[in-house]
Chain A
Amino acid sequence: AQSVTQLDSQVPVFEEAPVELRCNYSSSVSVYLFWYVQYPNQGLQLLLKYLSGSTLVESINGFEAEFNKSQTSFHLRKPSVHISDTAEYFCAVSEGGTQGAQKLVFGQGTRLTINP
């Protein structure tokens, strides 16, 4: 069975500092990996995803994540954070399966707080 572990429940950082949100997964088959962001009182928005190909994937707002198969990790990084990045971040994994049966398994979430 798939599982996702987000190693930090809360990460406080200062504005313009770099940040890394850690995510490890377990699965016996090949996987697809996702990072979603949830702003207060809102649903989830896709930040970036890894399906295949280059192990480094980037989002339009400066985040990037690297798929590391040997370490079963998909850590999210940003070199310089902004106040507006304050949110809850969820790592998720899905397995390719039968048509349509691709549920997402989420981690517990990491609350990123940016301090001025």
Chain B
Amino acid sequence: ETGVTQSPTHLIKTRGQQVTLRCSSQSGHNTVSWYQQALGQGPQFIFQYYREEENGRGNFPPRFSGLQFPNYSSELNVNALELDDSALYLCASSLGGPGYTKFFGPGTRLTVL
């Protein structure tokens, strides 16, 4: 059984560019959620996908978008990057339903210059 993996590990972009981050879920998990963790802060919920449909979204603008694929892997896309988008982006997979443990990947460190 493999855990949650994310790619790339690190990424440097400039303002205005677009970025795609990838996440592979833990085997058997049908739910993927994404979190943004700014330096020195707790993670903030971006959105969640359950069986390829977005079913929850935090206070992030529409330029943050995502996809979940039939194999339950997922992408996070961010358009028109801003300096404040610099953060650690964490992906978590779980089974759907309240109380199921979310297993986090190691994260992608995005730096926007």
Interface residue ranges, A against B (CB under 8 Å) = 4, 32, 36, 42-46, 49, 51, 90, 92, 94-109
Query: Chain B residues near A42 (CB, 8 Å)?
Result: 106-107
The answer to the question of B90 belonging to the interface, with a C-beta cut-off of 8 Å to chain A, is yes
Given contacts A43-B106, A99-B96, A103-B33, 5 further A-B contacts (CB under 8 A): A32-B99, A44-B92, A92-B42, A101-B56, A102-B99
Determine the interface band of chain B, counting residues with CB < 8 A from chain A.
20 to 34
* Among A43, A99, A107, contact of B97 (Cβ-Cβ < 8 Å): A99
- Does B58 contact A107, Cβ atoms closer than 8 Å? no
**In the complex, which residue of chain B has the Cβ closest to the Cβ of A108?**
B42
Query: Chain A residues near B58 (CB, 8 Å)?
Result: 103
Interface residue ranges, B against A (CB under 8 Å) = 4, 31, 33, 35, 40-45, 48, 50-51, 55-56, 58, 90, 92, 96-107
**In the complex, which residue of chain A has the Cβ closest to the Cβ of B88?**
A43
- Does B42 contact A107, Cβ atoms closer than 8 Å? yes
Shortest distance in angstroms between A76's beta carbon and chain B's nearest beta carbon?
15
- Does A105 contact B96, Cβ atoms closer than 8 Å? no
In the docked arrangement, what's the CA distance between A46 and B96, Å? 17
In the docked arrangement, what's the CA distance between A96 and B92, Å? 18
Query: Chain B residues near A108 (CB, 8 Å)?
Result: 41-42
